[in-house]
Structures are given as C-alpha cells and as structure tokens.
Structure 1
Amino acid sequence: MTEQSIISDDMTLKRLFQDFYRVPDYQREYVWGETNPKGEGGEEVDQFLTDIHAEYENATKDFAPEYFIGTIVVCLGKDDVFELIDGQQRTTTAYLTLCALRDALTELGQSLPEELKGQIASSTVDWQGESIARYRLELQYEDSGGVLVQYAEGNGTTANKELTRSIRNIGNAYLTIREFIATTLENDPANIRRFHGYLTNKVKIIRIQTPTIAKALKIFETINDRGVGLDAMDLLKNLLFMNAKEAEYSKLKDVWKELTDEIYAANEKPLRFLRYYLLATFDVDSKLREELIYDWFQKNEKLTKHATAPLKFAQRLLEAAKAYRRFANGMNASGGAERGLANTRTLGGKSIKQHFIILMAGRHLNPTNFTTLCNEIEKTMFVWLMSGTPGKEYERRIVDAAHELRSVTDDSFDEFVQQHFKKERTALAITFRQKMLSLKVGDTRQFRLRYLLAKLTQHVDLLAYGPSQGRDNLDDYVSGGNDIEHILPDAGDAEAIAEFGEGGDDQEVIQQLGNLLLIEKSINRAIQNAKYSEKIKTYPQSKYLMTRCQADKASGQVGVADKITKTVEELEVFPIWNLAAVEQRQAFLARLASRVWNTSDEKTVPQS
C-alpha cells in the first residue's frame, strides 16, 4: 500500500478473522451489552444476532442470502496487527459470538471445526522467523482488564463480569449470545455448526484500510457525520402518493411525517413496525420477511385498500404507530400505565417486541381485559424464556393468537386467555419447575435474574400488605437501590466458609438461586461478606418481608391471624445456613415461582 492509498475491501467474517486486530487504548470501552440499574438496555447484541438469524433462516439447501453488518476502519501496525479505529462494537460482538459457539460445542462434547478455532486464535511468523501465538482480537484500553482473553481461552462462563463497565458489558453480551444459542439454536450441535457456517461465509463487512491512524480517524469522522441512508418505508410512501388524489397530498404528507415520528419515538425500525402491523392486522404467515413486505402490498391491495384509499390506510398505520409507541413506553393504546407491559420490558429488554403483535391485535378490548392481556403476556413470556422456547417458535404462537384475538369479544376473552396463555404455561410447568430448581447465576442474564427475585419478593409483600403505589410498581424492587445478595458470600472469609460447612467455597453452591436474596444496598453494604450468624441480625431491617424473615418468622409477624401473619406462616425460614438449607430454599423458591407465574396449582407456597 502506497503512503496515500486507502483500500476498501468487501469481505466475509471468515476473511476478516484471518487477520489480527487490536482496539487501541485511546478508544472508548465496549458498550453494546450495557444495561442500566433497572436492567434496561443491552439490546444491540440481541438485535445483531436476531437480524443475522432472520437472514440465515431464509437459506435453502442451494442458496443463502448474504447479510451486511457495516463498515470498520483499520490501520495496519508495524507488527502486522490492524489497529481497529472504528467498528469495535460489532467486531467484538462477532468475536464473542465465535467464542460462544465454540464453548457451546465443547460443552455438548462435540469436536470443533479447525476453522472456528483458527478464527479465535492462531499464530503469525515475524520477519525473524519467530512464531508468535495471538488471539484474533485484543482490547488494549485499561477498562477491559484483559478480560477478552478469558473468553478467547474458553473460560466465558467463569470470567469476571463485574469489575469495570467494559467487563460487565462484555459479560452481558456473552450471556446474551449463549442464551441465543440455547433458545434459538436449541443447543443443537447441527444447528450451531450450520449457523457458524452462515455467520462466517455469508455475513459481510466492509473493511477500510488507511495508511495512517490520522487518516483512519478522518474517515471515521466522515462516516459518522455524513450520509443518511434512504428511509426503509420510502417504497410504500411512494406507492401511497402514486395512488392518492392531488387534493390529498398535503394531508398525506402530514400523516406520513407524524407516522415516521411515532416510529422513531418508539425506537423502532420502520420495516419491523410495518411487519408487526401486518401480522397483527391480517392473516399473514409469521414467515413473512421484511424484504418481502413491499411485494406483499402489491399482491394484497384488496385487503389493505392502500391503492383505492391511500390516505385512510396511512391514517390506520398512524393510529397503530401511536399505540406501538405507547406500548414501548409501558402504556396501553390510550396512554394509561400498564404494569404488565412495563414488567415485560424489564424481563425482556428493549429488543424483545414480538408481543407487540398481539397487543396491536387486542386494542379493541375493554381496559380491564387489555390489562389482563398485558399481565398474561408477561407471565407467559417469562415462562417461555426460562424454559428455553426458541424466539421463532413463540413468535409463531403469538401471531396465531393475534389472528384469533382480532375477532375475540370481551365476552369470549376469558376462553381466549385460557387457550393461548394459561394452557401454554401449564404445558411447560414441569420444564419451568426443573429450570427453577437448578437455576444459578450465569444461567440467565443479570437483569432477568434481578426481575425474577424482584417478582418473588413483590409477590410476598402484596400478599401480606396488599396493594400500594410502591408495592404495585416492580421498579421499586428492580431499582438500583437494591442488590442481589449472596447469603453465603461470594468472597467470604475463612470464618464464613467454616460456619457454612461443606460446600462453603464451592461456586456451584454460592451461585445457586437458593443462595440469593433481594436486599437494599444500604443494608448490603453494612453486612458485606459477614458470616450468616451475623447477617441474620441485620436482615430484619429490610422493608421486604421475605428478606426480613429469612431466619426468623417473628421478624415479620404483626398481630394475630392477620394477612401479614398468615403470609409469614407460609414462608420457609432458615436459622442455620448450610448446603441443605440452600437446596431447601431453592425448592421453596421454585414452588413460589410456579405460583407467581401461574404454571401449576401448587398449594404449598403463599398464594393470592
């Protein structure tokens, strides 16, 4: 490459990871896995995988469509390692995906493709003939703490996930990818190998190589400051204007502007909104792909009336978009708060929106039934996620339900709920219970674990004290003011381990759901890593009944035979904390979860 030349290469991920890259120390940290204290955010990794998988599913035996993930800017260093100036987020995510695919195959006892191993690590020979082993991607900024090496070496499940912002985000991203492999790819070796083949052979990226870092930074600035792509709905917009009367142009223009503003305010891609609208409004197969939407419109004018009444069609789209934006903000179509919707966002993140299909189909329900719909969606989605139901499958079930819901009346709504939600959860009751009995930190994403503990804690409080503005709102439980407490400390001293006995230093025990408790940060800071006999003197200070009664029912009893006392009597308490107590408490929480998410008629736990 001459001094002034810039090379632009269109390449597959297979070709990309034949070279070595480093993210220099002056670059910002990895942020794609980031979540706020409420567990919101981090949807970029979900979307990265979902979009690739959507194209992957369109592959046939003889043909697979390519998928473009963007541009990166690099500068070749003197040691033949490319400095990654722009594109760290998608490159790091792609690299973590390769590591996670390898780890999943390894845990399933499968042999690894040599090419996959070579995409993660290889060796290079310097000009003196010395062989130097390298990982394909290296993070040099201090905040990374060298953690990417742990994922490259196959230690992703045990890698530290808390020390710094980047380490936490990388950990969240890795767990998201593993969840995708477990649910969407069903932990099936053949599916994993096939997806890896598509990922490396058909996912494309443009790599811009510059002669100097200064030139690379200039190109980075140009890419990020200029050039706005065409709106994804331009073809439909043109189609409507082609068929509109001239007198309607002004009104149609205003409606379209308001429509696109609503979609933008919902933080949604226009074509995804349009696809969900079609699935909710017409008997469209869930296999409809975004790139085929325009063709669908051309073939189905009799259904949509977009050619004979384009303004009315645009107004119907606008009405749906307004509702969609409100759904995205935890509200019903009229703008009223819906706790079920807000909770669904807490457990699923911003990227899981398939349930918006059924929400749009159910806008005609009365307020009481719509609230029930939101609550049933929340419970069923959690059961689906925890039982490993693939995203493609539950979208199909949602679409089938949405098609029926359009014609459901308020009088027939209860039967609809029984058939499409309660029956679904009952069918998964055993799988869900088994998951709860074995669940530990690392099996699900941190924000979902926080949601789980918050819902269990809230349920007990509502039974004892009844509704209130604070207790009705799950935000009070998942907020940054609370911690997930390890009852047996994650880093306990010798005294705490000795008091616990067998398993006191075993991470398999420490990270079990049965060893976790929701507690206020102020209390958690006071007890730190103390032994259990000291902690239980402080637990009664908590405002949460289940935490307060961890070791002694007397800490929560008020009066005689009142609701609080009845609830406390049904709680299991643990004056001594050891291996048997962890297992017993996990079993109790599993039974409580069956009640909270209505998967069975379990009678041995507090119930409403």
Structure 2
Amino acid sequence: MTAFKTIDSEDLSIAKVFQSFYKVPDYQREYVWGEKDAQGERGDEVEQFLQDIFGEFEQATKDDAPEYFIGTIVVCADKDGVLDLIDGQQRTTTSFLTLCALRDALAALGAETPATLSDQILSSSTDWQGDTVNRMRLDLQYEDAQGVMAEYGEGKGYDARKDGTRSIRNLANAYAAIREFLKDKFGDDVQAVRRFHGYFTNKVKLIRIQTPDVSRALKIFETINDRGVGLDAMDLLKNLLFMNAKADQFRKLKDEWKALTQALYGAGEKPLRFLRYYILANFNVRDAKIREEDIYNWLVKANDQTNHIGDPLGFAVRLKEAALDYANFATLKNQQGHLESGLANTRALGGSAIKQHHILLLAGRHLTGERFTRLCNAIEEVMCVWLIAGVLTKDYERAIAQGTKALREVKTDADLDAFITSFVDGQKSLYHERFRQALLTLKSWNVRQFRLKYLLAKFTQYFDIQAYGAAGKDQLGPYLVSKVEVEHILARGADEAAQAEFGDGAKDINLTESLGNFVLLEKAVNIVASNAAYSVKAAQYPNSQFLLTRCQTELMQVGVNDQITRAMKRLDPSPTWTAETIRQRQEWYADVALDVWGLRHVKPHDIFDEMFG
C-alpha cells in the first residue's frame, strides 16, 4: 500500500512563523506592495496592512488582546529544511520588514533590541552534517531583489538600497511606510513600540500550509485563489504554467515570464489588459467578449485552443513574443521598433486611454512591412469613424473581436485587400452617415481638445500633401505641436471692430465653437491676428506655412495646372466671414472628411458584410 506524504496545516503566530527560515523562489513574481503610481503616490497596501492590525491592537486591555488573522501562506520544504514560499509572499515580506522596522525604531530611540526580535530576523541553522550557518529568516531569491532584503535584516534601514529594480524600489517604499507608521502612532514612546511588537508577534496569526512538493503547493495556491480572489488572472496564469511545467523548465519559464512583464511595465501597460487583448486577438471567444474577471476561468477551459497545459513553456514564449510587440505598439512602433505613423495618429485621435485597436494589432502582428503599415492606417481611419460617430466602446470592441478571426488568416496582399474591404470599409459603411452628420454639427464641446486638433491637423495635412507631396508632410506630429494652435476665425473674445464687421451672431457660441470656425494657425501668426476683425486677420493668414490656412481668404497665384494649383481647386476660400460662411465651411469640412478618412468610395450600408454586424 502506497503511503502518501501529508499536507500539514498550522495556525501560527508571527513569532512562530519566524522560527522557521523561508525563501521566495526565483520564479516568483516580485514584491509589489507600496509601488508608486504615475503621479508618484505610494500604494497603500502596507499602510492598510498595519492600520488593520493597529485597529485590533487598540482594543487590547491590560489582561488580554484580540487576535488578528492576516491570511494563509503555502510553503514546501527544500532538502535543507528551508521553506519555499509559494503563496503569501507579499504579506510575509511585509511582516519581515515590519520586524526590521520595529528593531530599527527601537535602536533609533536608544533602546535595547529584545533577543526574541533579533532572532525573528536573523538566526542560525544547523544541517544534518553539523554545519551551522547564520541566515536571514526570509530570503528573496528572485533576481529583482538582488540581496537587498539582507540589508534590511542587517539593520541598514533607510540606508539600504532604494534604486535599481522595481522590487528594490517597492521594498524601500514599504520600509519607509512602516517606519512612518510607527513614528506616527508611537512617537518616541519606547514602551509603546515594545507593546506593539509584542502584540504583532503574539496576536497576529496566519495559517501556514506545508506540502511535500512544489507541484502540490502550486495546486493548493490555485485552489485558495480560485476565481482570482486577491490575485488577478496574470498571477493565476503564471501559477498554472508552473504547475504544469517540468521542474527543469522552471528557470526558462521564469525568464520568459520576467521578460514578458518587464516589456509591459516598461511601456507603462497593464499586464491584465494585455492578456485580455491577447485572448481576443488570437482565440475564439464566445460572443466575442470576455471580462477581466473571467479571464482565468476562460483559460482553464480553453486548453484545446491555447495548449498551455500540454506545453506551458511554449505558451509562455508565445505570450512573451506578443507582449514585446504589444509594448512596441503602445509606444507607437511596429514590431521592428520603428515609428508607425498610423499608430501615432491613432494616439493623437484617441488619446492614451483608448487602446481597443491593440486587439487588431495583436491579431495582425504576423504582418510586416507595407502590409502592417496599411493595417495601421486602416485602423486609424475606422477608429476615427467610430469615435466621431459616437459608437459605444462595447459595440466597436465587439466588432474588433469579431474581425480578428479574418485578420489572423491574412497572408497575402489580396487577403489584406479583402479584410480591409469587408471589415474596415464595412464598418465605415455602417457608420458613414452618422460620421458625416456628426461633423456637420460638431462643436468644440462635443470632442476633447486634442481630438479637435487631430481633425484640423488631418484636414491641413491632407491639402499640404496634395500640393507638395508626401515627402516631409507624411507625419502628423508637426501639425500637433504646441506652437501650432486651433484658431477661432471669429474669436471668442472678438473686439468691437470684429463684432461690428461680423454682424449678428458675433457672440453666439454655437457659431464661434463650430468646426467651421476653426483652422490651424502657427502661434506666432496667431498672436498678431489675435481677436481682430476678419479683414485685419486676412493679412496674416498668408503668413502661415499651411496651404489650407494660407488660402483662408483667397487662393495663391502660382501657376496654371501645377500640383499646387490643382490642390487649391478643392479649397474653400472666404473673402468675408459671416454666420453663413461658417456653416458653409462646416459642410465643406464634412465633405472633405470623406476623402481624408477614406469614405468617398464607401456607400452607406451597401457593402457591409453581415459577419461583422
């Protein structure tokens, strides 16, 4: 009869927890509590951890105190008896840092450190051969930590390294938060710090589950965190891959996962959003939708598509390669790291918050060179139609997810032509009239300022390219810089002469804030034009470098049938500026938009493929 090794579960105080030695294996994720956001604000996980404990500490009497439970950790012992920490790294590391901070706070107050506290941080162990080794009670073995935990254990405190890897910064933030907490709550009261240490080590408790091997520990980790409670799908997926990988694959799997996450963090992207987009781009998802909280459950059931169980390392490699491309896309580059105008333009259109088009980019990442550029340009056009037409995010994201299946099959120029016709032109067809009507009625308050400038930049660039060619004009960036401004032809604060010249409606914001009343103008020229009458501004507009603005009042005289003259035939100069000319200019913009965003050849609804409906 086979004897199975048992799983032990113990209810332990912090004092008993740190009678053992722990190490966080090198394949674990880094320490993330206390991480600062883009605004430099420190995460509040550490403060909340301590505040919750302090709340119970305050209920203590001279005779007794309530216990406080901080959760579960999962461990398994190595051959030397050191416990690999499989789950619970964040709270265990924070607890260890708290012990270090308590010791350092006492030292700063000139108080003696209790021997029990010192032993909870640094002690010795003797192996079966009789060799005794001094070691920290907790050792972070992943590369991001680079031995910094020992510096806190040795008492360097505020002098421990603060810069370097993400984990080093987060550990420094956490340690500082703990020291600040102790100072705030106890000031210079040595006895109060001692009492808190006593409460922390004796009344704060956790459940430690010890398993006979790593695979069993990983399985328990998955069970405890079922449905992603406390962890997100990226953490659970990582665990799932390790659980199904062979032991000799751990190092490679860890390296692939680290490269994946570093690529995303380096680009400022959220790993969970990337994972969701990756799934929508590469696999068949029911109803073409999946919420972030559903990702892990979907993965568990979708091995027939992903093969992450049969080949966890291969899946991680594929995911990493996609993440590297995604990081490039997020920084407006193609797979080779070169700037892609279509992506830069889409960012100017949508801002940094709109990223759903990344699903299409991930589905089309196998395309290279001119094909990928065509895809990016087509995405910009259809995104503009969706956003200006006011299509709901959930509707165009659903369309995107449905379109990925066809995009994944694109191999040739003819395939790409077919995809653009069926999907991109199909979506343009569906929203053609809503797009045109939106432009006909568009006011500045209908769109964000950056989107208004994007629209005017595209109109301006379009005619510059028609007149002068694409060389030097193919990038939208020069039209979007701060020294180029959105000019109100009839100024919002028009002076008396301008109001008198314009006549009725000079103060009507429905006129001054209409798309038809706007043009791009260099700041230096705009300062001179200011709030003056149109007849005065007319002398300044020809000083612009933009053909559309230069010809605001009249066409230039350059030739008979040269390229510039042919381009100017499409322009709409206005010798005078009235309420009627503003309306006419807006109609003209709405018509030109059909060429700028490729809708002229697309008839409303006629070629819309029902598969994308």
TM-score scaled by structure 1? 0.60
Kindly state the Cα deviation for residue 287 of structure 1 after the two structures are TM-superposed: 2.3
Kindly state the Cα deviation for residue 230 of structure 1 after the two structures are TM-superposed: 5.9
Q: Does structure 2 retain, via aligned residues, the 8 Å contact 1:324–1:356? A: yes
**Residue 491 and residue 218 in structure 1: after superposition, are their counterparts in 2 closer, same or farther (change >3 A)?**
farther
Aligned pairs for 1:474-485 within 5 A: 474-485=476-487
- Other-structure match for 1:559: 559
- Other-structure match for 2:580: 580
Show CA shifts across 1:75-127 (max 9, x none): xxxxxxxxxxxxxxxxxxxxxxxxxxxxxxxxxxxxxxxxxxxxxxxxxxxxx
- Other-structure match for 1:329: 331
- Other-structure match for 1:429: 432
The SS at the match of 1:240 is: helix
Kindly state the Cα deviation for residue 315 of structure 1 after the two structures are TM-superposed: 0.5
Partner amino acid for 2:272? L
**Residue 335 and residue 269 in structure 1: after superposition, are their counterparts in 2 closer, same or farther (change >3 A)?**
same
Kindly state the Cα deviation for residue 418 of structure 1 after the two structures are TM-superposed: 0.3
Kindly state the Cα deviation for residue 340 of structure 1 after the two structures are TM-superposed: 0.5
Partner amino acid for 2:457? A
Q: Does structure 1 retain, via aligned residues, the 8 Å contact 2:233–2:295? A: no
Partner amino acid for 1:408? V
Q: Does 1:265 align with 2:227?
A: no
Aligned pairs for 1:267-346 within 5 A: 267-285=268-286, 286-346=288-348
Tell me which structure has the larger Cα radius of gyration. Answer: 2
Alignment partners' CA distance in 2, 1:232 and 1:261: 17
- Other-structure match for 2:248: 247
Show CA shifts across 1:188-228 (max 9, x none): xxxxxxxxxxxxxxxxxxxxxxxxxx99x969xxxxxxxxx
Alignment partners' CA distance in 2, 1:307 and 1:431: 47
Show CA shifts across 1:297-324 (max 9, x none): 2112222121221111110000000010
The SS at the match of 1:485 is: strand
Alignment partners' CA distance in 1, 2:259 and 2:508: 57
**Residue 510 and residue 299 in structure 1: after superposition, are their counterparts in 2 closer, same or farther (change >3 A)?**
same
Partner amino acid for 1:454? A
**Residue 339 and residue 218 in structure 1: after superposition, are their counterparts in 2 closer, same or farther (change >3 A)?**
farther
- Other-structure match for 2:378: 376
Q: Does structure 1 retain, via aligned residues, the 8 Å contact 2:460–2:520? A: yes
Partner amino acid for 2:539? K
Alignment partners' CA distance in 1, 2:599 and 2:475: 22
Q: Does structure 2 retain, via aligned residues, the 8 Å contact 1:595–1:602? A: no
Aligned pairs for 1:137-286 within 5 A: 233-285=234-286, 286=288
Kindly state the Cα deviation for residue 600 of structure 1 after the two structures are TM-superposed: 2.5
* Identity between Structure 1 and Structure 2 (%): 48
Kindly state the Cα deviation for residue 571 of structure 1 after the two structures are TM-superposed: 0.9
- Other-structure match for 2:503: 501
Partner amino acid for 1:234? D
Instruction: Choose from 518, 521, 533 the match for 2:520.
Output: 518
Show CA shifts across 1:562-593 (max 9, x none): 11011112211101111111111111111111
The SS at the match of 1:491 is: coil
Partner amino acid for 2:514? Q
Partner amino acid for 2:418? E
- Other-structure match for 2:11: none
The SS at the match of 2:569 is: helix
- Other-structure match for 2:98: none
Kindly state the Cα deviation for residue 560 of structure 1 after the two structures are TM-superposed: 2.6
Instruction: Choose from 457, 478, 502 the match for 1:454.
Output: 457
Alignment partners' CA distance in 2, 1:405 and 1:287: 17
- Other-structure match for 1:596: 596
Q: Does structure 2 retain, via aligned residues, the 8 Å contact 1:464–1:567? A: yes
Q: Which moved more, 1:299-308 or 1:562-571?
A: 299-308
Alignment partners' CA distance in 1, 2:238 and 2:268: 20
- Other-structure match for 1:443: 446
Count of residues in correspondence between the two structures:
384
Alignment partners' CA distance in 1, 2:260 and 2:232: 13
Partner amino acid for 1:468? A
Partner amino acid for 1:422? D
Q: Does structure 2 retain, via aligned residues, the 8 Å contact 1:591–1:602? A: no
Kindly state the Cα deviation for residue 266 of structure 1 after the two structures are TM-superposed: 2.6
- Other-structure match for 2:135: none
Instruction: Choose from 351, 356, 362 the match for 1:354.
Output: 356
Q: Does structure 2 retain, via aligned residues, the 8 Å contact 1:457–1:546? A: yes
Higher relative contact order (CA 8 A, sep 6+): 1
The SS at the match of 2:445 is: coil
Partner amino acid for 1:464? A
The SS at the match of 1:518 is: strand
- Other-structure match for 1:415: 418
Q: Does 1:535 align with 2:537?
A: yes
Partner amino acid for 1:278? I
Alignment partners' CA distance in 2, 1:257 and 1:464: 50
The SS at the match of 1:553 is: coil
Partner amino acid for 2:307? K
Structure 2: 5+ residue stretches without partners: 1-36, 40-46, 49-179, 186-229, 604-613
- Other-structure match for 1:570: 570
Alignment partners' CA distance in 1, 2:431 and 2:238: 44
The SS at the match of 2:367 is: coil
The SS at the match of 1:352 is: coil
Alignment partners' CA distance in 2, 1:334 and 1:401: 24
Q: Does 1:465 align with 2:489?
A: no
Structure 1: 5+ residue stretches without partners: 1-31, 33-40, 43-69, 72-213, 220-228, 604-608
Q: Does structure 2 retain, via aligned residues, the 8 Å contact 1:503–1:579? A: yes
Q: Does structure 1 retain, via aligned residues, the 8 Å contact 2:233–2:293? A: no
Alignment partners' CA distance in 2, 1:230 and 1:283: 25
Alignment partners' CA distance in 2, 1:330 and 1:524: 31
The SS at the match of 1:263 is: helix
Q: Does structure 1 retain, via aligned residues, the 8 Å contact 2:259–2:320? A: yes
Q: Does structure 2 retain, via aligned residues, the 8 Å contact 1:426–1:600? A: no
Q: Does structure 1 retain, via aligned residues, the 8 Å contact 2:349–2:451? A: yes
Q: Does structure 1 retain, via aligned residues, the 8 Å contact 2:289–2:401? A: no
Partner amino acid for 2:487? E
Kindly state the Cα deviation for residue 601 of structure 1 after the two structures are TM-superposed: 4.2
Kindly state the Cα deviation for residue 232 of structure 1 after the two structures are TM-superposed: 5.4
Kindly state the Cα deviation for residue 399 of structure 1 after the two structures are TM-superposed: 0.6
Partner amino acid for 2:285? V
Partner amino acid for 1:388? G
Q: Does structure 1 retain, via aligned residues, the 8 Å contact 2:425–2:602? A: no
Kindly state the Cα deviation for residue 427 of structure 1 after the two structures are TM-superposed: 2.6
Alignment partners' CA distance in 2, 1:299 and 1:527: 65
**Residue 567 and residue 218 in structure 1: after superposition, are their counterparts in 2 closer, same or farther (change >3 A)?**
farther
Partner amino acid for 2:578? N
Alignment partners' CA distance in 1, 2:568 and 2:275: 50
Alignment partners' CA distance in 1, 2:234 and 2:427: 36
Alignment partners' CA distance in 2, 1:595 and 1:218: 64
The SS at the match of 1:483 is: strand
- Other-structure match for 1:180: none
Q: Does structure 2 retain, via aligned residues, the 8 Å contact 1:483–1:521? A: yes
- Other-structure match for 2:401: 399
Q: Does structure 2 retain, via aligned residues, the 8 Å contact 1:232–1:270? A: no
**Residue 242 and residue 587 in structure 1: after superposition, are their counterparts in 2 closer, same or farther (change >3 A)?**
same
RMSD between aligned residues: 2.5
